[in-house]
Structure 1
């Protein structure tokens, strides 16, 4: 950590004014809290956590659809492990509960496992709940193309992939926004490169620095971003050149282009974001679980706007009665430690809000590494949620 200390000293020497930065990657949030990077910052430099956890921002409407499918006897519903515990819009309802009640819900570590499952179970309908940023979307795209090549009629996709730059733009457009610079997600940059971030930096006049995940990489990104702010420079900088290239990964980007189209999409905690997600192209609509099972429309519909974490606090759903502040946390307007239920009624074992579910969620990271400090506060007032 000596290199981190040296970078922190450089940061103190560089900063002359107060600045507020946001990291938009849940993995970076986890590392920042784990290593106490935010506690090494000089006075006046504030780091807030953005909606960087794809599990956390998956809308309740999608979880409701996944639960409905998992209850059907002919369906095998597959997804990544964290998705099983994300609450939908009904109190206490999640995929883990559906499985406990007899639904066939299975955990996968790779989308291609769904392909093998569909081939082994030709008389069942296999549905893959596909979530994640641009980082995991290429693997879903590969699954779609292989299913097409094999002509698998019993495999479909419930797609909820989201795009990071539009969410960053939405945060900057919010009234009262305080973000003056971004640490961008290095894993997304490894796929998409830097080009998509250039209009964001230009149109909003902010520095955006592509940053890694190790303590020294995060501190180097912070130093680069502060230096740009002090110089009055807006633009995109790459402080993670060992992984991120200007053009990203052309092969992965080609997969995305071939399989998906850009759509307006709701994010949990932020509402509908223009161009904020991906949907299957029309020629692959036969793979769309919403079409195959005649599910309620999702992207760009009024129903999609009514997400329980789309405001400053939940208005319905499992965390509603506790006046959950998950929406404010996902927007970067509050810290998990601000929540009265944090570490009490809301824990990773019994989450009230989505940011407490995934290990990359801000609430889960704070609970793991800072819960002792939160629990040292006065007795919790009624309400709150992770």
Structure 2
């Protein structure tokens, strides 16, 4: 059997499910904070197999979804300037003020290009030396090192017409903010494998030491997820509270120090806005002064402005785990993947898109 087939083994899944349901005392409310986990939990059928005692809360793990309304407005503002905008594809259809999107801006003549890597954006800058080229930087610690590396290469090669509009988010401060919400009552966290491959396990220790909550770094296959849930049950029964790395085939406890070093060289932490949550201290990344020439906010003298939330959209409550997507009055009616009202229905990692695809 292929190694990865072990993590999809139906019999092992059945065994873990049986143990979870047999040994769980009371209710277990767990939250995943990774969009890939969101999709995996639905696509694999794991969510439908869990008993009512295991409550799954989908958290703010989709980078496109947590991008704030004011940040989307900044993207659209930048698209109206004399510049080439480069972006990952998911951002193209995220609604902004007056339901405008980068895709609609492109249709109206804005130079917006979809790229698969920030280095693709740098190549566009090289090929168009008389144009300013901006990469829209969103995402978590997973994508930040590559973008930092791109900025470093741009400076080393003297490419002065490239910059980044940086709205990266950091996962641990967001978890700290969520735990502080008395309405949520999260009892355990399924931690993101991709982010953890970069930052390791140490940044999550506060969940156990400060808040008394167990957390498990897990992979994305059905056995990975069920194993993590069973570890929650076992820890509860044994009176333990720990942060555990159960994804050792990919994640080391120390993470990737080189990637973190590159990220910290180019970026520094800052307060950041999260859709549905608001301002979280120290939860974002901004470009350091040493690299100011590559900071689009400074290059184009931009500021974030207050913008109205999308009318009727409940993405904020979905991202905080306070509402299941199907309880939003727009879900499956005014808001569908073909005609999304909010970003949680746009992104392939969004909770609303996962509910729509795998539950109706």
Return the TM-score normalized by structure 2: 0.95
What residue is the counterpart of 2:208 in the other structure? 201
Shift in Å, 1:284: 0.8
What residue is the counterpart of 1:162 in the other structure? 169
Taking the aligned partners of 1:3 and 1:44, their CA distance within structure 2 comes to: 21
Taking the aligned partners of 2:166 and 2:313, their CA distance within structure 1 comes to: 27
What residue is the counterpart of 2:118 in the other structure? 111
8 A contact 1:171–1:177 mirrored in 2: yes
Which one of the candidate residues 59, 62, 74 is aligned to 1:53?
A: 62
Taking the aligned partners of 1:41 and 1:232, their CA distance within structure 2 comes to: 23
For the residue of structure 1 that corresponds to 2:145, the secondary structure is helix
What residue is the counterpart of 2:179 in the other structure? 172
Higher relative contact order (CA 8 A, sep 6+): 2
Moved over 6 A (4+): none
Taking the aligned partners of 1:189 and 1:14, their CA distance within structure 2 comes to: 29
Which one of the candidate residues 226, 231, 242 is aligned to 2:238?
A: 231
Taking the aligned partners of 2:60 and 2:327, their CA distance within structure 1 comes to: 17
Give the count of matched residue pairs. Answer: 351
Deviations 1:102-136 (A, max 9, x none): 00000011110011110000011000001111001
8 A contact 2:184–2:321 mirrored in 1: no
Deviations 1:230-267 (A, max 9, x none): 33322210111111111001111111111110111011
Unaligned runs of 5+ in 1: 308-315, 372-386
Which one of the candidate residues 155, 167, 189 is aligned to 1:182?
A: 189
For the residue of structure 2 that corresponds to 1:132, the secondary structure is coil
Taking the aligned partners of 1:176 and 1:343, their CA distance within structure 2 comes to: 26
8 A contact 1:224–1:239 mirrored in 2: no
What residue is the counterpart of 1:150 in the other structure? 157
8 A contact 1:238–1:244 mirrored in 2: yes
For the residue of structure 2 that corresponds to 1:265, the secondary structure is strand
Which one of the candidate residues 320, 344, 354 is aligned to 1:365?
A: 354
Taking the aligned partners of 1:266 and 1:341, their CA distance within structure 2 comes to: 24
Residue 78 (1) aligns with residue 67 (2) = no
What residue is the counterpart of 2:260 in the other structure? 253
What residue is the counterpart of 2:26 in the other structure? 17
Shift in Å, 1:221: 1.0
What residue is the counterpart of 1:265 in the other structure? 272
8 A contact 2:276–2:317 mirrored in 1: yes
What residue is the counterpart of 2:14 in the other structure? 5
The more displaced of 120-129 and 272-281 is 272-281
